[in-house]
């Protein structure tokens, strides 16, 4: 129900409902007026693109809309024939359900597993409401880590009043006109060094330059790890902290997140994953629980002697990929 008091304050609400939702406002009964009604008009980008031409054009290629990151992340496990099956039976029917329309961020919070927080502000078009949009889709791991709700310390940026859009600008959300296969291809995505250019303690930073990610030292501690969400038995999670080699850059030590795909994960779709061992189950993750001082910044021995949190062979998930072993890093003690 639209609040009449907001009609004149929002340009969108000053238009007739049928402009976006179709139907026939000349009819007298609800049934006849709603014939041909479009419940979610922004599912078709062209609807918003009538007025927001550039944004609509750019958004059509954005990762939030295409969900291509999910396809890119697993496709290398498949043969060419298996990828065709995946695209038809899994990606379009499951992964694509994560794609967000314009209205999912600006009018009504997106449905996740069939659950939605409803309208953001009574059908008013809202520029941003990160607690109801970002948090709902990214609330399994990133958002609760950032705010400290997942049993840890709130990220230092959150403590200083920063929210998602302070780093993730609208050009990243809406796209820039290019169609990306994954976020790794987006060169303009947020980087720690974009803001922290004048680094103090130059000796420590120079020694670890190109050898360790910022999160490897500045993650405040445990973050959420999922251990059965991509298997056949539902999902479960537990807090953990894992350091290992970045699978995308084997020279760099970083925080890893478990993606517990097994060889049997897509059996029901007829996919055996012929190239299962080509990808690991542990992936570099820029965790959002940053702290200036941690055990690793205070003491070299926490890494070089105790090796706290380092990925070990006995930790590897059962029936995981053989590629996991290539991420184990045996850090050498410091010569004192």
**Which pLDDT score, from 0 to 100, does residue 88 have?**
93
Q: Are 271 and 300 in contact (CB under 8 A)?
A: no
Q: What is the pLDDT of residue 12?
A: 86
Pick from 95, 165, 98: nearest CA to 126 = 165
pLDDT per residue, tens digit, the chain (336 aa), is: 455 555 556 788 888 889 999 999 999 899 999 999 999 999 999 999 999 999 999 999 999 999 999 999 999 999 999 999 999 999 988 888 788 999 999 999 887 767 788 899 888 899 999 988 899 888 888 999 999 988 778 999 999 999 999 999 988 999 999 999 999 998 888 999 889 887 666 788 989 999 999 999 999 999 999 887 655 566 678 899 999 999 999 999 999 999 998 999 899 999 999 999 999 999 999 999 999 999 999 999 999 999 999 999 999 999 999 999 999 999 888 876
Please report the pLDDT score of residue 4 as a whole number: 56
Cα–Cα distance for residue pair 99/97, rounded to 1 Å: 6
Spatial distance between the Cα atoms of 66 and 140, rounded to a whole number of angstroms? 20
Q: For residue 81, how many other CB atoms are within 10 A of its CB?
A: 11
What is the pLDDT at residue 229? 65
At residue 3, the pLDDT reads: 55
139 CB-near residues (< 8 Å, 6+ apart) = 112
pLDDT at res. 85: 96
pLDDT at 151: 74
Q: What's the pLDDT at 14?
A: 82
Q: Which of 177, 175, 138, 173 is nearest to 286 (CA)?
A: 138
How far apart CA 245 and CA 299 sit, in angstroms, is 20
209 burial via Cβ count (<10 Å: 0-12, 13-18, 19+): exposed
User: Can you tell me the distance from the alpha carbon of 81 to that of 170, in angstroms, rounded to the nearest whole number?
Assistant: 37
């Amino acid at each position: 129900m639209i609040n009449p008091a907001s009609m004149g304050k929002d340009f969108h609400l000053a238009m007739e409902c049928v402009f976006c939702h179709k139907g026939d406002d000349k009819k007298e009964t609800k049934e006849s007026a709603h014939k041909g009604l479009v419940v979610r008009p922004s599912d078709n980008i062209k609807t918003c693109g009538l007025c927001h031409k550039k944004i609509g054009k750019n958004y059509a290629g954005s990762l939030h809309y295409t969900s291509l990151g999910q396809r890119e992340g697993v496709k290398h496990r498949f043969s060419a024939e298996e990828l065709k099956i995946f695209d038809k039976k899994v990606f379009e029917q499951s992964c694509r359900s994560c794609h967000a329309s314009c209205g999912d961020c600006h009018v009504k919070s997106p449905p996740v597993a069939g659950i939605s927080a409803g309208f953001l502000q009574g059908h008013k078009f809202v520029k941003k409401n990160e607690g109801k949009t970002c948090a709902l889709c990214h609330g399994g791991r990133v958002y609760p880590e950032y705010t400290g709700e997942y049993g840890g310390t709130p990220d230092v940026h959150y403590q200083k009043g920063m929210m998602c859009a302070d780093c993730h600008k609208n050009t990243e959300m809406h796209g820039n006109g290019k169609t990306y296969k994954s976020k790794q291809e987006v060169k303009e995505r947020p980087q720690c060094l974009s803001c922290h250019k004048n680094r103090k303690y130059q000796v420590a930073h120079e020694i670890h330059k190109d050898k360790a990610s910022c999160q490897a030292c500045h993650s405040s501690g445990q973050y959420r790890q999922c251990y059965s969400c991509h298997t056949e038995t539902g999902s479960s999670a537990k807090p953990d902290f894992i350091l290992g080699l970045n699978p995308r850059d084997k020279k760099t030590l970083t925080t890893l997140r478990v993606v517990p795909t097994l060889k049997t994960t897509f059996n029901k779709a007829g996919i055996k994953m012929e190239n299962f061992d080509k990808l690991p189950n542990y992936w570099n993750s820029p965790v959002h629980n940053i702290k200036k001082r941690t055990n690793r910044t205070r003491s070299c021995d926490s890494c070089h002697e105790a090796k706290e949190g380092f990925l070990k062979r006995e930790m590897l998930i059962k029936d995981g990929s053989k590629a996991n072993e290539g991420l184990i890093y045996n850090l050498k003690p410091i010569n004192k």
